[in-house]
Amino acid sequence: MKKPLIYFLLLSCWVGLSTASALEYVIWRYDPTAGNEATATGGAEATETPGAFIGSDDPELGNPGINSNWAAMLSNSRLPPNTPLEHVKLTATITAEVATPGVQIVYRFRKNLPEEGFDHTIMGVHVWTVDLAAGTNTFEIRLGDLPAGESEEMLLPLPVEETYFITNIEMSVFGMTSPTVYTVGEFTMSVDLVEAFNVVPAWRIDPFGGLGSISSAINYMRTNNPDTTSDVEHSDFGFVDEVPHNPALADGQFERTTSAFGLDGAAWGMAFFSFTPDHMLRSLPEGLDLDRTFVVININADFEDPEVDSLGGVGVNMIFRGAPPENTDLANYRSSSPWLSIQRGDTRIIQHLSRWTPDGAAGGFEPGQLEQVEQIQYLIGGFVAAARGVYTMNEVMLLIPADDLPPPVEAPPVITPEVLADGTVRLILSGDASTEYTIWASDDLANWESIAVETTGPDGLLVVEDTDAAALPRRFYAVGDANGPAL
């Protein structure tokens, strides 16, 4: 039997890009095992164990509890501007020997900025009341669900417009009313960027996934490639210090090495990453809200010196460029104070672009430039001699608000044809779940007939068989509605 020649009409489609995964990051942490301290108050007494205090049942001594030191916001993060309080998550861990109801956790949000004279002004107070069971208690709540507390006999809720300026948090725990041991464990404050700001990736490099690689390394930095590793010229001495590449390094890794002649003490090692339009996932819309545009950096540090646990004073630049081959610099932003810090092991850095400093000749964005951006160059520097070791750049992203983007075009349904032994054509349609579709057929692209009106199942699939196709030399198919095919 002669089988029909099938022409399958593939309608224009739009391939959606996956959105950013949940990006929850800790902005503030109180952890007595990591050096955070607290003072006993109201008859409570400290023990030799960090975070452990003995409560008091003597009401004449006051309300027994603790006052923590003013733990600073973590160096790589601060609350973004105008962060909705309902998206600020607080966690607390307290261990009690006996059940104790009505324990109060009080947060005092302070700002300590040079223009304010470093006065630790209290900008907001919120109170969290919990009931402790015997054993370890772990609690979680949103800041927006906590009532305001008092400061100078006035209720003082944290204003949303002040969230970015909070530099320190003082945490108190009151109500330790049993003369037994209470252990105050880790307390954190975090924000999920996707939940709070509805962001999606606009640009991304992932050297280990084949997205981006190191284009050059300077000042005693080396890679696995001799073409991207540079010697250091000391013009004052008329001397060139050779920096050999390290073939043992992987793509995305760079190593801060040292001078055999002791000349690298003041050198500020830097690594530059390649930039191409391939790394852009979305165009930057004009009117982009920089307060809700975030830079996310995931880096791993393996310091050579076991006594080194962190590297401070790290700086990052993002240079926004036009299309190749001109590669015109449109804007240049540099991470500003506080400088970034990299810990031993994995470090995640999340900062919003609005608080970075326009840098270089390009400076900040001018009107009309955002939509011209087709590539971004990323560079990171500040790797001093004391921080010798291997660094792995796992991922860098620029996240932008999804609501600044035009709505995505919905992907059309797709028909997959299959010719059976008797010449019948089986059509498998993949579309939206539980949706009615009309399948149209034609043998000349001019005259169309409806051959099926069916509804997809929960999986978005439906199957239709066209028995008339066996008698035809060729057959075209399209999806549409009752009015005709969508051509």
**Degrees (nearest 5) of the Cα angle 463, 465, 469?**
145
Whether residue 95 contacts residue 176, with contact meaning beta carbons closer than 8 Å, is answered with no
Q: Which of 108-117, 174-183, 290-299 has the least mean pLDDT? A: 108-117
Question: Which pLDDT belongs to residue 116?
Answer: 59
3-class SS of residue 440: strand
Q: Which of 41-45, 155-159, 244-248, 472-476 has the least mean pLDDT? A: 472-476
Question: Which pLDDT belongs to residue 243?
Answer: 93
How many whole angstroms separate alpha carbon 425 and alpha carbon 403? 43
Q: Flag whether pLDDT at 409 surpasses 80.
A: no
Q: Which of 98-112, 234-248, 296-310 has the least mean pLDDT? A: 234-248
How many whole angstroms separate alpha carbon 388 and alpha carbon 79? 31
3-class SS of residue 355: helix
Question: Which pLDDT belongs to residue 167?
Answer: 84
CA neighbor of 404 nearest in space, from 188, 202, 250, 241:
202
Question: Which pLDDT belongs to residue 78?
Answer: 77
Whether residue 478 contacts residue 485, with contact meaning beta carbons closer than 8 Å, is answered with yes
Question: Which pLDDT belongs to residue 239?
Answer: 83
Whether residue 325 contacts residue 291, with contact meaning beta carbons closer than 8 Å, is answered with no
Q: What phi and psi values does residue 319 have, to the nearest 5 degrees?
A: -105, 115
How many whole angstroms separate alpha carbon 64 and alpha carbon 40? 8
How many whole angstroms separate alpha carbon 62 and alpha carbon 174? 10
Find the mean pLDDT for residues 409-420: 75
Q: What is the pLDDT of residues 50-89, one digit of tens each?
A: 999 999 999 999 999 999 987 777 767 778 888 899 999 9
Whether residue 69 contacts residue 56, with contact meaning beta carbons closer than 8 Å, is answered with no
Confidence of residue 462 (pLDDT cuts 50, 70, 90): confident
Tokens of 472: 């035809």
Question: Which pLDDT belongs to residue 11?
Answer: 34
pLDDT over 90 for what percent of the chain? 51
Residue with the larger pLDDT of the pair 280 and 404: 280
Question: Which pLDDT belongs to residue 25?
Answer: 83
Q: What is the pLDDT of residues 214-229, one digit of tens each?
A: 999 999 999 999 999 9
What the chain holds in terms of domains, given with CATH numbers, is 5-14+409-485 (2.60.40), 24-197 (2.60.120), 199-404 (2.60.120)
Question: Which pLDDT belongs to residue 342?
Answer: 92
Q: pTM score > 0.85 for this model? A: no
Q: Flag whether pLDDT at 12 surpasses 60.
A: no
Residue with the larger pLDDT of the pair 87 and 164: 87
DSSP state of 134: S
Q: Flag whether pLDDT at 97 surpasses 90.
A: yes
How many whole angstroms separate alpha carbon 95 and alpha carbon 51? 10
Q: Flag whether pLDDT at 361 surpasses 60.
A: yes
Question: Which pLDDT belongs to residue 419?
Answer: 84
3-class SS of residue 97: coil
Most confident of 277-281, 330-334, 436-440: 330-334
